[in-house]
């Protein structure tokens, strides 16, 4: 063997089809979510028979296939264009009724949106959608800032299904009870994948993404285990890509255990970087926790409210959200009076350290 045989040449890459590791890549098949997709289909089926459909709340923690499965259902509706108009909106990107309305118009190919207010747009949308039946999927529904679009959809469209997707069902408390009863939501919970399922999903993505045999088994298994512990396939895709990039920077022809471990070490930074998509109040809370990591919930609230007005309930809700998204972690403690309290830590350091 020559001295330089193990070194990757300048024009060589370990990646074959790296787009298979993109978070918004839509794989041909979504294994282990057949039942969930079937249930979604059941809610939509009446629309294909020109009857009213069911409304559905789809919920579960991040990175376990809620978005990708619902998009798959839309894909399966190809061929039924004469009966149903499917619309998918990511409410993190479009959070106000006006933005949602403009986006819906664009998906409907309705171009005369300029100089029209939300109400006028809603009227146009109803006119178009009522020619057939409609499926509206509002993904990241907890990010919706005002619900007038949703109200109008429920009131003015005759035959429809509304799917709300979220990992934080608390937002439903913002809806009034009349609206909730009108919605009469069925529920579909997504639960995390088990270890074998996690491995299977990542293996398929890896086999497409990388050149054959470059990923060493030991390195891959380490990343699978980490992904399973975090219950988040999106993080798993990040880890696969990161390990590949690290191996390439080192001009290695193989992705070995050391690269996988380095990728896991880089995770902390990745989670925090994601915070660029947070809202102002959430950022404020995250920064306060960062500067006061290890202090109790109460202490952090007191520090925060010295300069800002945030109701305690909003604060605890946002803390829960940051915690669910692994941006902060909480540790249960006993107070001197024997009650329960929490210490907050910045990042998912504690959680990651536990595994």
Ligand X SMILES: Nc1ncnc2c1ncn2[C@@H]1O[C@H](COP(=O)(O)OP(=O)(O)OP(=O)(O)O)[C@@H](O)[C@H]1O
Interacting residue ranges for ligand X, rule: CB under 6 A: 23, 27, 30-33, 62-68, 167, 201, 233-234, 237
Rounded to whole angstroms, how far apart are CA atoms 245 and 14?
9
In the complex, the smallest distance separating the C-beta of residue 236 from ligand X, rounded to whole angstroms, is: 7
In the complex, the smallest distance separating the C-beta of residue 4 from Mg ion, rounded to whole angstroms, is: 45
In the complex, the smallest distance separating the C-beta of residue 313 from Mg ion, rounded to whole angstroms, is: 26
Q: Which is nearer to ligand X, 66 or 94 (CB)?
A: 66
Q: Which is nearer to ligand X, 33 or 159 (CB)?
A: 33
Q: Which does 64 bind (CB under 5 to 8 A by kind): Mg ion, ligand X, none?
A: ligand X
Closest CA to 137 of 199, 194, 88, 79: 88
Q: Which does 86 bind (CB under 5 to 8 A by kind): ligand X, Mg ion, none?
A: none
Q: Which residue is nearest to Mg ion (CB)?
A: 67
In the complex, the smallest distance separating the C-beta of residue 214 from ligand X, rounded to whole angstroms, is: 21
| DSSP string over 121-175 | HHHHHHHHHTTSEEEEEEETGGG-S--HHHHHHHHH-SSEEEEEEES-GGGGGGS
Q: Which is nearer to ligand X, 65 or 347 (CB)?
A: 65
Q: Which does 247 bind (CB under 5 to 8 A by kind): Mg ion, ligand X, none?
A: none
In the complex, the smallest distance separating the C-beta of residue 120 from ligand X, rounded to whole angstroms, is: 32
Chain residues 65-84 in contact with Mg ion, contact rule CB under 5 A: 67
Rounded to whole angstroms, how far apart are CA atoms 278 and 272?
11
In the complex, the smallest distance separating the C-beta of residue 59 from Mg ion, rounded to whole angstroms, is: 11
Binding to Mg ion by residue 222, rule CB under 5 A?
A: no
Q: Which does 246 bind (CB under 5 to 8 A by kind): ligand X, Mg ion, none?
A: none
Chain residues 113-172 in contact with Mg ion, contact rule CB under 5 A: none
Rounded to whole angstroms, how far apart are CA atoms 70 and 101?
21
In the complex, the smallest distance separating the C-beta of residue 4 from ligand X, rounded to whole angstroms, is: 37
Distances (CA, A) of 110 to 85, 129, 152, 324: 14, 11, 18, 38
Q: Which does 234 bind (CB under 5 to 8 A by kind): ligand X, Mg ion, none?
A: ligand X
Q: Which does 233 bind (CB under 5 to 8 A by kind): ligand X, Mg ion, none?
A: ligand X
Distances (CA, A) of 347 to 30, 272, 283, 324, 355: 31, 7, 13, 11, 15
Angle at 284 (CA atoms; ends 63, 148), nearest 5 degrees: 65
Backbone angles phi, psi at 183, to 5 degrees: -65, -40
Q: Which does 294 bind (CB under 5 to 8 A by kind): ligand X, Mg ion, none?
A: none
In the complex, the smallest distance separating the C-beta of residue 314 from ligand X, rounded to whole angstroms, is: 21
In the complex, the smallest distance separating the C-beta of residue 139 from Mg ion, rounded to whole angstroms, is: 6
Q: Which is nearer to ligand X, 129 or 264 (CB)?
A: 264
Q: Which is nearer to ligand X, 56 or 304 (CB)?
A: 56
Backbone angles phi, psi at 266, to 5 degrees: -75, -10
Backbone angles phi, psi at 173, to 5 degrees: -65, -15
Q: Which is nearer to ligand X, 98 or 199 (CB)?
A: 199
The answer to whether the CB of 282 falls within 8 A of the CB of 318 is: yes
Q: Which does 15 bind (CB under 5 to 8 A by kind): Mg ion, ligand X, none?
A: none
Rounded to whole angstroms, how far apart are CA atoms 320 and 317?
5
Give the alpha-carbon dihedral of 193, 244, 17, 276, to 10 degrees. 70
Query: Quick one: DSSP state of residue 252?
Result: B
Q: Which is nearer to ligand X, 30 or 105 (CB)?
A: 30
Rounded to whole angstroms, how far apart are CA atoms 61 and 310?
26
Closest CA to 209 of 20, 30, 25, 23: 20
Query: Which residues make up the interface to Mg ion (CB under 5 A)?
Result: 67
């Amino acid at each position: 063997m020559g001295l330089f045989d193990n070194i990757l040449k300048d024009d060589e890459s370990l990646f074959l089809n790296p787009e298979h590791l993109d978070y918004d890549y839509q794989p041909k098949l979504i294994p282990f979510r057949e039942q969930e997709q079937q249930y979604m289909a059941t809610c939509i089926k009446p629309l294909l028979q020109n009857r009213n459909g069911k409304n559905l709340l789809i919920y579960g923690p991040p990175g376990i296939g809620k978005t990708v499965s619902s998009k798959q259902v839309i894909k399966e509706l190809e061929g039924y264009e004469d009966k149903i108009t499917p619309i998918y909106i990511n409410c993190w990107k479009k959070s106000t009724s006006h933005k949602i309305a403009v986006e819906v118009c664009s998906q409907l190919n309705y171009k005369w949106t300029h100089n029209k207010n939300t109400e006028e747009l809603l009227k146009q949308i109803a006119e178009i959608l009522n020619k057939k039946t409609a499926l509206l999927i509002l993904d990241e529904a907890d990010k919706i800032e005002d619900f007038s679009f949703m109200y109008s959809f429920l009131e003015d469209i005759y035959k429809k299904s509304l799917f709300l997707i979220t990992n934080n069902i608390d937002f439903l408390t913002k809806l009034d009870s009349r609206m909730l009863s009108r919605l009469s939501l069925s529920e579909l919970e997504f639960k995390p994948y088990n270890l074998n399922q996690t491995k299977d999903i990542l293996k398929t993505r890896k086999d497409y993404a990388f050149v054959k045999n470059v990923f060493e088994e030991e390195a891959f298994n380490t990343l699978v285990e980490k992904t399973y512990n975090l219950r988040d396939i999106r993080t798993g895709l990040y880890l696969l890509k990161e390990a590949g990039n690290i191996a390439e920077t080192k001009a290695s022809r193989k992705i070995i255990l050391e690269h996988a471990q380095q990728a896991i070490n880089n995770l902390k930074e990745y989670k925090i970087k994601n915070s660029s998509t947070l809202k102002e109040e959430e950022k404020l809370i995250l920064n306060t926790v960062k500067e006061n990591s290890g202090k109790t919930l109460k202490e952090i609230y007191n520090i925060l409210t010295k300069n800002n007005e945030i109701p305690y309930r909003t604060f605890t809700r946002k803390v829960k959200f940051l915690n669910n998204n692994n941006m902060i972690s909480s540790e249960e403690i006993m107070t001197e009076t024997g009650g329960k309290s929490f210490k907050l830590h910045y990042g998912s350091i504690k959680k990651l350290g536990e595994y």
